[in-house]
Amino acid sequence: MIITMSVQANDEDIERVRKRVEELGYGTKIFRGEKKTVIHVIGVTDREKITKAVEPLPGVENLIPILSPYKLASREFHPENTIISVNGKKIGDRMIAIIAGPCAVESETMMIELACALKEAGAQFLRGGAYKPRSSPYSFQGLGEKGLEILARAREKTGLLVVTEVLSEIDVPLVYKYADVLQIGARNMQNFPLLKTVGRFNKPVLLKRGMSATIEEWLMAAEYILSEGNSNVILCERGIRTFETYTRNTLDISAVPVVKHFSHLPIIIDPSHASGDAKYVNSLAKAGIAAGADGIMVEVHPDPANALSDGKQSLRIETFRELIEEIKRIADAIGRTL
C-alpha cells in the first residue's frame, strides 16, 4: 500500500503517519519528492485496518492499494510516464535517446575520435565499458579506473554523457565519480546487494534485463533500486536466451509495449547484444523504436575486426550514421523526435 501525503503536510504529519503504521506492525519507507511525500507501507495484510487507522490523520491525501508485486515500478502507483533527466538530456519524453560507443574502452585516442564522430552523427550518450564482465577469465577485462578517466575526457571533449557498467557494490562510489548513468548488466540483474547500493546514490541507473529473466523478475529488480530511494531507473531490453542459434539472443520486442503497460519507467533496447551480429542491428533498432522504445543503445567501433570485445556485433560509424537517418524517419511517423 502507498500513502500519499498532501502538499501541505509537514514533517510532524509525516512522522505521525509513519509511527502509526509501524505501531500496526508494518514496515515503512519514506520517499520525498519535490512537491509531495509518499510513504510505502511494507507487508500489509489488512487493508481495512490500516485505512481506518491512517486515513483520518492530518496531511494524508490518499491511500493506494498496489496489487502488483513491484509497487514503486507499477503504473498503479505512478500512472504517468517517468521522464528521467540526465544533466539536461531526457529519457522517456518525445525525444528518442541514442546511446552509442564501443563495448570496451580500449585507448584514449580511439575513444575520443569515436566520440567526436558519434556526436556529429547524432548520439547524445557515450557508452563504453571500463570494467568488463566476460564469459572467459582470459578475455580482456577492461582498463578499470583508467578507462573511466578516458570516458570523462571524451565527455569533456564532446559533451556526450557517459553510460558505463558497474560490476560490484564496492566499485559504485568510483564509477559514480565518473559516470552520468550507472549501468547494471544482464549478469547482475539480480545482484541484490549491487541493486541496493546503486539505489542509495542519486544518479540514473540503466538496468538491463537478465538473459533468462521474465518481465516480472526484471521489474522486481528495478523495485530494489526504487525502494532504496533512487527513482531514476531506465530499463534496457537486450535480448533473452531462447532455443534460437542464428542470433546471440532473441530480442523481445513485445517487452516494450508490455513494460509500457505495466510500468511507468522508460525502456530502451540494445539490439547489439540481442543479435550478436552487426548486420541485424539496424533492423532490430528500428523495430524497437517503432514498438515504442524510448531509445537505443548500440555498439559502434572504428575497426570492428580488431575490437578487443564484441567486434562482430559492433557497427562501423558509416552504418551508425545510416541508422540515425532511418530512425529519424520512424520518429517523424510516430510523433517523436531525435
Q: What is the pLDDT of residues 228-268, one digit of tens each?
A: 889 999 999 999 999 999 999 999 999 999 999 999 999 99
Q: What SS3 class is residue 261?
A: helix
pLDDT along the chain (338 residues), means of 10: 91 94 90 80 85 93 87 89 95 97 95 98 96 70 90 98 96 96 97 97 96 97 93 97 96 98 98 97 98 98 93 97 97 95
* H-assigned helices in 37-171: 47-54, 108-121, 145-158
Question: According to the model, what pLDDT value does residue 146 have?
Answer: 95
Question: According to the model, what pLDDT value does residue 142 have?
Answer: 77
Question: According to the model, what pLDDT value does residue 134 have?
Answer: 64
Which residues have CB under 8 Å from 258's CB, separation 6+?
215
One fold for 2-64 and 84-333: no
Q: What SS3 class is residue 39?
A: strand
Question: According to the model, what pLDDT value does residue 226 have?
Answer: 93
Tell the CATH superfamily of the 84-333 domain.
Aldolase class I (3.20.20.70)
Question: According to the model, what pLDDT value does residue 66 have?
Answer: 81
* C-alpha dist (Å) from residue 144 to 112, 147, 193: 17, 5, 21
Burial of 246 (0-12, 13-18, 19+ CB in 10 A): exposed
Question: According to the model, what pLDDT value does residue 34 have?
Answer: 67
Question: According to the model, what pLDDT value does residue 150 have?
Answer: 97
145, 102, 85, 39: CA torsion to nearest 10: -70
Contact indicator for 160, 88 with CB cutoff of 8 Å: no
Strand extents, DSSP E, the chain? 2-5, 27-32, 37-42, 60-64, 84-86, 89-91, 97-101, 125-127, 161-165, 181-184, 205-208, 233-237, 267-269, 295-299
Contact indicator for 165, 184 with CB cutoff of 8 Å: yes
Contact indicator for 157, 116 with CB cutoff of 8 Å: yes
* H-assigned helices in 60-165: 108-121, 145-158
Enter the CATH code of domain 2-64. 3.30.70.1140
C-alpha cell at 85: 533527466
C-alpha cell at 221: 529488480
Residue 59 region by backbone torsions, left for phi larger than 0, else alpha for psi between -120 and 50, else beta: left
What does the domain layout of the chain look like in residue ranges? 2-64, 84-333
